[in-house]
Amino acid sequence: MSRYGTNNNVIEAFFDQAADGPTGAGNVYWEDKKTLYSYGRHFPLAYKLRSGSYLFNGDKYSSSTGRHQSETAAYRDEGRGDITISFSALQAAGIEYDSESLHIVSTQPDQQEDFYFDPKFYGKAAREDAEKFIKSAPKGATVRFQSWKDKEGERQQAPSYWHRPAAAVLMWDAWTETKLLFENHQDPWKSTGERKVKHPVKYFILGMDEGSYFISQLPGPAASVGKAYDILKPKAIRQAEARGEKIQRQGEWFFYPIFEGSTARQIYKQLDPKFNLTDASNRPGAAHIATRGGRLSQVAFLTAEKTAKHFKHALRHCDGSQIIVSGQIRHSEGDHAQLKLSTIENIKIFSAHINTALASWSSSGGVD
Final residue before a domain boundary, out of 164, 196, 225: 164
For range 221-249, the mean pLDDT: 93
Greater confidence, 312 or 119?
Answer: 119
* Domain annotation covers residue 107: no
Does 212 score more than 70 pLDDT? yes
- Which of 149, 104, 92, 96 minimizes the C-alpha distance to 122? 149
pLDDT digits (tens, 9 = 90+) for 158-170: 888 887 877 899 9
Do 68 and 150 belong together in one domain?
no
Q: Is residue 341 part of a domain?
A: yes
Number of helices and strands (H, E) in the chain? Answer: 9, 22
CA separation (Å) from 8 to 177, 266, 316?
Answer: 43, 67, 63
pLDDT at position 309: 44
Q: What is the pLDDT of residues 128-148, one digit of tens each?
A: 998 999 988 877 677 888 888
Looking at the fold, whether 245 and 141 belong to one and the same domain comes out as no
Decide which of 135, 164, 193 is a domain's last residue: 164
Q: Domain check: are 146 and 62 in the same one? A: no
Q: What's the domain range around 73?
A: 1-85
Looking at the structure, tell me whether residues 66 and 157 fall in a common domain: no
Long-range contact list for 125-134, CB < 8 A, 24+ apart? Answer: 126/158, 127/158, 130/158, 130/159, 133/159, 133/162, 134/159, 134/162
Whether 93 is covered by a domain: the verdict is: no
Tell me, what DSSP letter sits at residue 200? P
* Tens-place pLDDT, residues 241-279: 998 999 999 999 999 999 889 889 999 999 999 999 988
Q: Are residues 81 and 157 in the same domain?
A: no
Of 230, 233, 213, the closest CA to residue 222 belongs to 230
Number of domains in the chain: 3
Q: Is 233 left (phi over 0), alpha (psi -120 to 50) or beta?
A: beta
Query: Of 164, 154, 21, 6, which Cα lies nearest the Cα of 85?
Result: 164
Residues 81 and 124 in one domain: no
Local confidence band at 33 (pLDDT 50, 70, 90 cut-offs): confident
Decide if pLDDT at 178 tops 70.
Answer: no
Same domain, 151 and 253: no
Same domain for 356 and 243: yes
44, part of any domain: yes
> Is residue 34 situated within a structural domain?
yes
Whether residues 72 and 117 fall in one domain: no
Comparing 36-40, 106-110, 112-116, 309-313, which segment has the lowest mean pLDDT? 309-313
Last residue of a domain, one of 39, 65, 85: 85
Pair (149, 268) in one structural domain: no
Q: Are residues 239 and 324 in the same domain?
A: yes
Report the C-alpha gap between 351 and 239 in whole angstroms.
13
